[in-house]
Amino acid sequence: MLSIVKTLAAELGRSEEHVGNVVKLLDEGNTVPFIARYRKEMHGTMDDQTIRTLADRLGYLRNLETRKEEVKNSIEAQGKLTPELSEAIENAATLAEVEDLYRPYKQKRRTRATVAKEKGLEPLAQLLYAQERDCPVPEEEAQKYIDPEKKVETAADALAGASDIIAEWISDDAAIRKHLRALFVQCADVVSVAAKKDPEDTVYRNYYNFSAPVCKVQGHQVLAFNRGEREEVLKVGISMNREAALNVVCRYAVKSPACRSTAFVRAAAEDAYDRLIFPSVEREIRTMLTDSASEGAIGQFALNLRPLLMQRPVKGFVTMGLDPGYRMGCKVAVVDGTGKVLDTAVVYPTYGERQKQECIVKLAALIKKHAVRHIAIGNGTASRETEQMTVELIASLGHGMDVSYAIVNEAGASVYSASPLAAKEFPEYDVNLRSAVSIARRLQDPLAELVKIDPKSIGVGQYQHDMPEKRLSEALDAVVEDCVNAVGVDVNTASAPLLSRVAGLNAGVAAGIVKYREENGMFTARRQLLKVPKLGEKAFEQCAGFLRVPESKNVLDNTAVHPESYAAAEKLLALCGYTEEDVRTGKLAGIRDRIKEEGGAAKVAEKCGVGVPTLNDVAGELMKPGRDPRDELPAPVLRTDVLSIKDLKPGMELKGTVRNVIDFGAFVDIGVHQDGLVHISRIADRYIRHPSEVVSVGDVVTVWVLEVDEKKNRISLTMKKPKA
């Protein structure tokens, strides 16, 4: 364990004490959000993402230690474990190195070398591979091994078998594989060509004659040609200078250039490389590239998901959700400021001019009846026509009505609307109307609505369906958990899916909280949560700080102050001359000045019995009880008019919302239905390695139109201001 802690500390640039504390907290069953928020003194204020990285690496290093023990035990059982080999296994830094060392001792399927050994040719192979000075002429020595009963008819048969054995030994040599793997990474190219002689024009056209160094190929390129290969459109392989690779192999295999068996061993080495090593290392390199590309794509998906979930909510307004469609019409749902459904309808704005006008009249009546302030339009099929109709609708309302609209990413809305959860939540509505409700609520509170949907269905990644499903789910679920706990959850209004994402809670306990609430009325204190079945002290410790109880008499129950720090918060208030009523009425703006007057944070923290990080967090919460960190983010772009792609001209300046960030750029919604692409080279005036260094999903940015291709429906944008 000490070596693992030391390794983690070096990798993360953290002290061994802090890393050791985090490992202990994780082993005790504490959740990442709880550790990140409420154990800052123990880990030196690491954030949740750093702790998750630590947890991932901890799992890998522990698996590595376990595998080392398994390998050593297996080799020892064969009576072949030497002190040198044991030390080499112990010093291996990766699973690949451990497997290389284990390769010669691993039980193999029947190979050419196995067959040769069965024929009694291993002593011949050993003699020739030793390459000693007195080594006999291979052809003469091979005569001794002719045995027709073992199907060794000639000396050539014996030498062929000995060559097979030597080739397998060379292939199993861990040092050769390690050096070849490094050589391939540095010097090999990944090559992609069209599978057919005269290929059709497909999305893979860029890879019909593609080559890039293994060390420089981009993750999105790897994922693209992998998919093209699966669809049998492309052929992909690794190209390596054979002579350079053989030099590495022979450097280890050929021990004496003047020996009589040297030429024979060299020929066996060439066979080992061509037949065994190259195909194996090629697979390893392809797997390495795919794993790296997948991790990058998963990381980018997670990076995009976080700001999408943390978008600023448009709270407290009656909202109309429009789920556009052609054949089934446009589904409509009106919800109040809390998300409760007030009205529903189905209109047909795409059926013709008469139906569109009928639609406008009907929706105008609903807007006036329920005092709708905002309209949320799903960005799927028929979105453009629905947006155009909405602009005419808003214009028809006259000056007295302050109504605006926003385009909402509807990815996953259909998945949610057909789910058992939606059926339970809205049993009286059909699938299509549930989708309209979800779209309206996404504008009101993106986080509360999106947690009901499998993160993989939200659609802010690239090649997400090609990712390892378990790893992708783990990464995205971690983002959802971090976002939910960063915002906090009102225990009296939250849905079971939202509660299940709170640290320490699972789906069963979350359902129990909702059931308790329905049977006993609203919670009036945090400690009341302990009455919920299966919610014990440990779960309460983990979840309490993230659950808000606005109806509680204790104002601290509506803050992120953990119950274990209530005594410290009360001491801080008394020390600074404040009361709980001051907290409720927002009169603690000067608390940090008072802390300075009392001798500074360190001295006050000591008096309150907590560390400085906890004191600072408590003070921040007392200043803004019940605050939502999302309220400090930029508001979503709300529009009253619409542009057509035909309206766009090069040089035109527009405001837009970043919808997706990928390896080669960012897609920006500029209000013309079709998102425009800002290529990575057009995002900043400086060099950037990845678009995420500058932009995130949900960012409101200024862009200029570069080029418009109406036929292909493509819009090229730039974030670099054009020179006058």
**CATH code for position 433:** 3.30.420.140
Backbone angles phi, psi at 388, to 5 degrees: -65, -40
Query: Do 580 and 691 have their domain in common?
Result: no
Long-range contacts (CB closer than 8 Å, 24 or more residues apart) made by 39-45? 40/611, 40/613, 40/614, 40/617, 41/610, 41/611, 41/612, 41/613, 41/614, 42/18, 43/14, 43/18, 43/19, 44/14, 44/15, 44/18, 45/613
The answer to whether residues 654 and 702 touch, using CB atoms and an 8 Å cutoff, is yes
Answer whether residue 420 is part of any domain.
Answer: yes
Query: Do 464 and 604 have their domain in common?
Result: no
> Mind giving me the DSSP string for 265-309?
HHHHHHHIIIIIIHHHHHHHHHHHHHHHHHHHHHHHHHHHHHHHH
The answer to whether residues 223 and 462 touch, using CB atoms and an 8 Å cutoff, is yes
Query: Do 345 and 428 have their domain in common?
Result: yes
Query: Do 49 and 167 have their domain in common?
Result: no
Query: Do 71 and 121 have their domain in common?
Result: no
Query: Do 275 and 390 have their domain in common?
Result: no
Query: Do 292 and 440 have their domain in common?
Result: no
Query: Do 294 and 323 have their domain in common?
Result: no
Query: Do 267 and 340 have their domain in common?
Result: no
What's the pLDDT at 673? 67
Chain-centre distance of CA 531, in angstroms?
36
What's the pLDDT at 292? 93
Q: How many residues does the chain have?
A: 724
The answer to whether residues 33 and 489 touch, using CB atoms and an 8 Å cutoff, is no
CA angle in degrees (0–180, nearest 5) for 407-413-417? 140
| Owning domain of residue 677 | 645-718
What's the pLDDT at 640? 64
The list of the chain residues with pLDDT below 50 reads none
From residue 621, alpha-carbon distances to 6, 276, 398, 587 in Å are 35, 63, 44, 12
What's the pLDDT at 23? 97
Q: Total domain count for the chain? A: 5
Answer whether residue 653 is part of any domain.
Answer: yes
Q: How far apart are the C-alpha atoms of 67 and 73, rounded to whole Å? A: 10
What's the pLDDT at 461? 67
SS3 state at 718: strand
Residue where a domain terminates, one of 76, 105, 134: 105
Strand segments, DSSP code E, in 280-403 are 319-323, 330-335, 341-347, 374-378
Query: Do 525 and 611 have their domain in common?
Result: yes
Q: How far apart are the C-alpha atoms of 668 and 366, rounded to whole Å? A: 31
Whole-prediction pTM value? 0.81
